[in-house]
Amino acid sequence: MIFEQSFLDSLIQAVEASHKYRDLQIPHTTLQDILAYESQHSQSRKELEANFRKSLHNIMAPYLEDINYPVETASMQEFHSQDPSLETLKSWCQDRMRHHASSCERLPFLEIFYQKIYVTIGTPTSILDLACALDPLGLPWMNLPPTTSFVAYDIHQPRLDFLQAFFQLFYPQARAIQQDILTNIPDQEAECAFFFKEAHRLEKRRPGSNRELFAGLNVKWLVVSLPSRDLAGHHSLEAYHTSLIQKSIEGQPWRLTTDMAGDELLFFIQKHD
Ligand SMILES: C[S@@+](CC[C@H](N)C(=O)[O-])C[C@H]1O[C@@H](n2cnc3c(N)ncnc32)[C@H](O)[C@@H]1O
């Protein structure tokens, strides 16, 4: 069905002004892209409005943790001025990661998570952390040399402002960028991209999107992680998620190897030597 532009604009404006989303400053192009896809799959205005909100909720809402980012950013300065040891920094990061589902689930095996990745790809000289959420607070566990560049992408602006302040104080080789990695695939060259626990959701937003993203990235290694079990822990998702990755690289001359860390499936996609 074709919808009037004025109606589409009004749906976007309503989201941008809403209590739930206004502070997040979601990129306009993200909202336009979701709406364009849902317009093709809705038969009435009412259905489009519901589908648009549902899709946006699936992308943003499970990760709206209760962190007050401006307050945390301000108190970070004070924390930094105490010249914390690595152990104190780790404990500060852990306290914040506990508030975000994906990073909280990783805490029990954080000590080995990045080491497992380096066994296959070596210690990277440059990293793009795609749809990063709070994964960059894992930097104290990554053991990277100060020469390794680290670029973190997300669409949640207050979280990115917090991360950028964290980088400036503790990891000056890193930076945080607000960018929708699907509508604006990063073209920055890097040795590897981390894409943790988001591929299944990206595929729901728009089927085929992982294939598009993987092909567009200018990296040697793409490290994708996905949960091995459903949230309740009852069902294995291993076959389902492995098939998602296999379909996303089908026909490409890339090499795929797999591993596991804790309850995360790891997919190593080598795009070139
Ligand atoms: C499941 S969390 C990712 C967790 C993180 N990668 C980790 O494993 O710790 C989802 C994150 O992806 C971000 N996100 C979702 N879609 C995105 C997109 N198209 N571009 C950039 N970031 C996106 C959300 O804002 C949220 O912070």
Same domain, yes or no, for 205 and 250?
yes
- Confidence at residue 213, expressed as pLDDT on a 0 to 100 scale: 98
CATH number, domain with residue 198: 3.40.50.150
Q: How many residues does the chain have?
A: 273
Element (H, E) at 224: strand 219-227
Same domain, yes or no, for 251 and 124?
yes
- The response to whether residue 170 sits with its C-beta less than 6 Å from ligand 1 reads no
Same domain, yes or no, for 10 and 80?
no
Alpha helices in 44-100 (DSSP H): 45-60, 69-81, 86-97
DSSP string, 176-217: EEE--TTTT-----EEEEEEES-HHHHHHHSTTHHHHHHHH-
Q: What is the mean pLDDT of residues 171-188?
A: 98
Question: Which protein residue's CA is at the shortest distance from atom 8 of ligand 1?
Answer: 196
Last residue of a domain, one of 41, 63, 85: 63
Same domain, yes or no, for 54 and 157?
no
- The response to whether residue 132 sits with its C-beta less than 6 Å from ligand 1 reads yes
Last residue of a domain, one of 63, 83, 109: 63
- The response to whether residue 195 sits with its C-beta less than 6 Å from ligand 1 reads no
Distance CA 216, CA 195 (A): 14
Residue-wise pLDDT tens digits, 113-145 = 999 999 999 999 999 999 999 999 999 999 999
Same domain, yes or no, for 209 and 151?
yes
- The response to whether residue 156 sits with its C-beta less than 6 Å from ligand 1 reads yes
Look at residues 81, 61, 260 and name the one whose alpha carbon lies nearest to residue 156: 61
- The response to whether residue 180 sits with its C-beta less than 6 Å from ligand 1 reads yes
Residue-wise pLDDT tens digits, 195-206 = 999 999 999 999
What's the domain count of the chain?
Answer: 2
Residue-wise pLDDT tens digits, 229-259 = 987 778 999 999 999 999 999 999 999 999 9
- Confidence at residue 9, expressed as pLDDT on a 0 to 100 scale: 96
Average pLDDT, the chain: 95
* 126: phi then psi, degrees, rounded to nearest 5: -155, 140
pLDDT above 90 for 106: yes
- Report residue 101's pLDDT band, with 50, 70 and 90 as the boundaries: confident
pTM: 0.97
Same domain, yes or no, for 29 and 133?
no
Same domain, yes or no, for 185 and 215?
yes
Burial of 185 (0-12, 13-18, 19+ CB in 10 A): middle
* 44: phi then psi, degrees, rounded to nearest 5: -150, 165
pLDDT above 90 for 63: no
Distance CA 156, CA 177 (A): 10
Distance CA 268, CA 266 (A): 7
Q: Which residues contact 92 (CB under 8 A, 6 or more apart)?
A: 79, 84
Same domain, yes or no, for 47 and 129?
no
Same domain, yes or no, for 229 and 111?
yes
Higher pLDDT, 2 or 51: 51
- Report residue 52's pLDDT band, with 50, 70 and 90 as the boundaries: very high
- Confidence at residue 1, expressed as pLDDT on a 0 to 100 scale: 80
Lowest mean pLDDT among 67-76, 109-118, 183-192: 67-76
Same domain, yes or no, for 121 and 179?
yes
| Domain, as residue range, for 256 | 69-270
Angle at 114 (CA atoms; ends 109, 117), nearest 5 degrees: 115
CATH number, domain with residue 23: 1.10.8
Q: Cα–Cα distances in Å, from 60 out to 14, 38, 129, 131?
A: 16, 16, 18, 11
Mutate to test the pocket of ligand 1, among 154, 210, 225 (most ligand atoms within 8 A of CB): 154
Same domain, yes or no, for 38 and 75?
no
Question: Which protein residue's CA is at the shortest distance from atom 23 of ligand 1?
Answer: 131
Contact 27, 153 (CB under 8 A): no
- Give the 3-state secondary structure of residue 123: coil
Q: Which amino acid is present at 241?
A: H
Last residue of a domain, one of 36, 63, 90: 63
- The response to whether residue 162 sits with its C-beta less than 6 Å from ligand 1 reads no
Q: Hunting for tokens 């994906």 — which residue is that?
A: 102
Same domain, yes or no, for 50 and 75?
no
